[in-house]
Amino acid sequence: MEPIKDMKGTAELLARLGLRDSNSGACEVDWIENPGGRLLESINPATGGVIARVKMASLEDYEYVAATAETTFLNWRNLPAPQRGEVVRQIGVALRENKEDLGLLVTLETGKIRSEGEGEVQEMIDICDFAVGLSRQLYGLTIASERSQHRMMEQWHPIGPLGIITAFNFPVAVWAWNAMIAAVCGDTMIWKPSPETPLTAIVVQSIVNEVASRLDCRGVFNLVVGDANDVGERMIHDRRLPLISATGSTRMGERVGAVVGRRLGRAILELGGNNAIIVTPTADFDMALRATVFAAVGTAGQRCTTARRLIVHESIYDGFLERLVNAYGSLRIGDPWEEGTLVGPLINERALDTMKNALEAAVEQGGRVVAGGQRLERPGYFVEPAIVEANPGMTIIGEETFAPILYVMRYETVDDAIAIQNGVAQGLSSAIFTNDVREAEQFLAPDGSDCGIANVNIGTSGAEIGGAFGGEKATGGGREAGSDSWKAYMRRQTCTINRGRSLPLAQGVRFDVG
C-alpha cells in the first residue's frame, strides 16, 4: 500500500474499510441509523487535520443498545462455549483480511508508527486465537467433601452484559482483550471507545457486525461512541452491567471504581503506569540500551507500560547515559506512516502542554534536561523525546506524564534500586537488566518488584497476550488477556450433590427433627 499523504488518500482508505466519503474531504459517519448526540471530529495528530466526523450517541441511544445487550445475553449464555468460540474464530479471520488497512487507520488516528499500528491489529488476532482455544478449556474443580456420599464441585457461568471503556493509546487491542474472552465466556458487551479514536472503533465494530450477521448472533458485540459525562456516567451507574472494564488514568479509575463499587458491581481497572528499568553493572548494555529506548519512546511515550524512570548503577551511570543521549539523537521523528519513522506525534495539543509543564517542574525541582523536550516546528503534535537527570526525591517523578520523558537516576545497591522503583504510587510494569542470577531472583522475590509485571532482561513494554496483564496499587489491580483472567468475566458457583439417603450436615452439626 502507498503511504497516505493527503486527505484524498485517507478518504480512499476509509472507503476500503466501509466508511463513505463526503464532498468536504472528510468522512461523515452515521452510526446505528441516526444517533442523537453531537458531532465528534477525529483528528490526525500528525497533521492536526480532521480525518472524519462521527455522530455520537445520545442517552436514548445508549438505552437502546443496553437493552439489546441485555436481551441478547439471555440466549448467548446458553450457546455451548465452543460454538461461541467459532464466532470469535471467524472474527479473527476477518481481522486478518483487514490487517493492513486497519493497522494504517490506527496509525492515522493515534499517531503510532506503521509497525505499531499493524502490531495492534495482530494483538487482536492473537487474542482471538487464544479465546478460541479457551472456549474448549473453561473448567471447574471437583473438591473433596467431608460428608459421605457427597460430591462438591465448582462451576463457572457467564456474568452478564458488561461495559468496556478503552483509551486512545490502544484503541482496539484492549477492547479485544476484554471482548474476545468475554464472548467465549458467554457475556455480551457494550464498548465505549475514547473520543480521540472513534473511527478505529467503528471500523472494528463493522467487521464484527458482518461476522455476527452471517452467524446470526447480532447484539453480542455493541458499540456506543459517546461523551464521558453522559453516556460514560450512565454506563458505570447501570446495574444491568455487573462488570465494567475501564482503561485510562488513575483519576478516571477512582471514579469508575467508586461508582461501580457503590452498586456492588465488579470493575477491572487498568490505570496509570510509572514504570522503571534497572540497569546493573553485569547487564548486556546493548540489550539494555535498545530496550530502554523502545520502552521510553515507543508510541511517543503514550503506553501505560512506557519506561518513565531509568535507574542505573553509579559505576556505569555516566557511560550508559552518554550512549542513551546519542541514541536519542539518532531517532527519526516524523509522519508515522512513513518507512523508517520511529517516533510519531503526541495525541493532541493538551498532551504537549502537559509534557512542557512536567519538564518545567522537573527543572524547578533540581532536574537537568540533557536531551530533547522541544516541540518540532511542523504541523501536528510532535516533540523530541526528553531525557532528564533526576533524583528520587523529585515529586514530579511520582506522577505519570503521558509523554516521552525519561527520568534517569543513580543507585548504589540493588536494594536501593528496587526501593526507588517501588517508591511511586503506580505498580504496572518493571524490568531489570542483569546477568547476576542473585540480582534477578532478588528482583522477582516477594520483597522485590511490587508491580504486576516484572521482567528480567526485557523492557517494560511489549506484553504478550498469553500472560495476564495488569498492575497493583494505583494501577488498579485488574487483569486482562491471558492466563486465568477469564474468571473475571464469569461468576463462580459452588455445587454439592448428595447421592445418599441420609442428610448429614457439615462440621458435624446435628439438627434432628421429630
Active site residues: 270, 304
Contact, 358 vs 383, CB < 8 A?
no
Number of neighbouring beta carbons within 10 Å of residue 368: 11
Tell me which residue of 392, 378, 281, 327 sits closest to 47, measured CA to CA.
378
Distances (CA, A) of 300 to 107, 159, 306, 350: 12, 37, 9, 14
Per-position b or e across 295-332, b if 16+ CB within 10 A of its CB = bbbbbbbbbbbbbbbbbbbeebbeebbebbeebbeebe
452: amino acid identity, one letter: G
Number of neighbouring beta carbons within 10 Å of residue 452: 24
Distances (CA, A) of 445 to 198, 450, 467: 42, 9, 19
Q: Angle CA(305)–CA(433)–CA(122) in degrees, nearest 5?
A: 40
Contact, 51 vs 10, CB < 8 A?
yes
Length of the chain: 514
Distances (CA, A) of 417 to 305, 309, 402, 500: 19, 11, 23, 61
The helix or strand, by DSSP H or E, that contains position 266, with its residue range, turns out to be strand 266-270
For cell 517508591, the residue is: 423
199: amino acid identity, one letter: L
Q: What secondary structure, in 3-state letters, does 269-305 show?
A: EECCCCEEEEECCCCCHHHHHHHHHHHHHHHHHCCCC
Measured in degrees and rounded to the nearest 5, phi and psi for residue 300 equal 55, 40
Q: How many Å apart are CA 154 and CA 492, to the nearest integer?
A: 7
Contact, 373 vs 328, CB < 8 A?
no
The helix or strand, by DSSP H or E, that contains position 323, with its residue range, turns out to be helix 317-329
Q: Give the burial class of 226: count Cβ atoms within 10 A of its Cβ; 0-12 exposed, 13-18 middle, 19 or more buried.
A: buried
